[in-house]
Amino acid sequence: MKTGTVKMLRKSYITLFSAATAALLLSSCTNNENSPGVEYMPDMYRSPAIEAYVDYGMDPWLIGEEAAQEQRNLLSARKPVAGTIAYSGTENLELAMPYPFYNTPEDYERAGAEWTSPLPLSKMNIEAGKAVFERFCIQCHGEAGEGNGSITEVSGGKYPVVPSYQSRATLPDGKMYHTLMYGKGLMGSHASQVTAEERWQVIQYVRTLMTGTMPEFDDSGMVKPAIAADQAMTASN
């Protein structure tokens, strides 16, 4: 290729590039003084409005597996990064902290020795625990914690009887909490269904089923000191 031809092509390229650049710059101009002009990356200026916990119809039976998978990949449907701690206010920070024990026999024993409730023994917490028990536990453990729940009765003996609570009255609270977190034996994990506060509350109620008596409360709804001390001793043994 001749030198003159190369120079002409180079000049043409420069001219085209200059014209395209000028057109781009001019296109970002506007008479509106409130306009930011053309935004190179709009999401850097205005974050997209992502609605959390919105039902996007992720049931594959209704919209098909392919569409459901696309919905699961939306930003609002992704699981938090491992180790993320949800903000739950400034009260009872102990309830917001991650559970520090693993699903091992060694940590089951450690939980029994080290993990204790941050909630006071009170009528309010015991009654809240009873409500949790009736939603999630009564079907297997029975109304009085004797292991004769409706699942055992309906199965006609095929489902084994759960040990009664009264036979395990010395079980520490920490071990019960660990079982709620990971499950044990035939009992599955309830970590996703029951919050940290509800776990401690249902343990307080289960403790009343273990002893067979409801504690006495003072005028403020707190368990009387002598009884609370006895229960605390039992929960840690």
List pLDDT tens digits, range 85-112.
777 777 778 888 889 999 999 999 999 9
DSSP code of residue 35: -
Same structural domain, 105 and 170: yes
Residue 78, number of CB atoms within 10 A of its CB: 9
pLDDT score for 111:
96
Q: Where does a domain end: 26, 56, 80?
A: 80
Mean pLDDT value of segment 35-40: 67
Provide the phi-psi class of 229: left if phi over 0, else alpha when psi is between -120 and 50, else beta: alpha
Same structural domain for residues 76 and 102? no
26 in a structural domain: no
Q: Is the pLDDT of residue 55 over 60?
A: no
Rg, Å, the chain Cα set: 31
- Residues above pLDDT 70, as percent of the chain: 72
Domain encompassing residue 48:
41-80
Residues 46 and 162 in one domain: no
Q: Based on the fold, state whether residues 227 and 188 are members of the same structural domain.
A: yes
Residue 80: pLDDT over 80: no
Do residues 125 and 193 both lie within one domain?
yes
Residues 168 and 140 in one domain: yes
Closest CA to 167 of 212, 223, 222: 212
Q: Are residues 116 and 172 in the same domain?
A: yes
Quote the pLDDT of residue 56.
55
Domain co-membership, 117 together with 163: yes
Lookup result for tokens 């001390």: 229
- Together in a domain, 125 and 50: no
What are the pLDDT digits (tens) for 154-213?
A: 777 677 778 888 888 889 999 999 999 999 988 999 998 999 999 999 999 999 999 888
Q: Is residue 14 part of a domain?
A: no
E strands, the chain, in order: none
Same domain, 51 and 131: no
Task: Map residue 59 onto helix, strand or coil.
Answer: coil
Do 166 and 107 belong together in one domain?
yes
Q: Domain count of the chain? A: 2
Same domain, 72 and 123: no
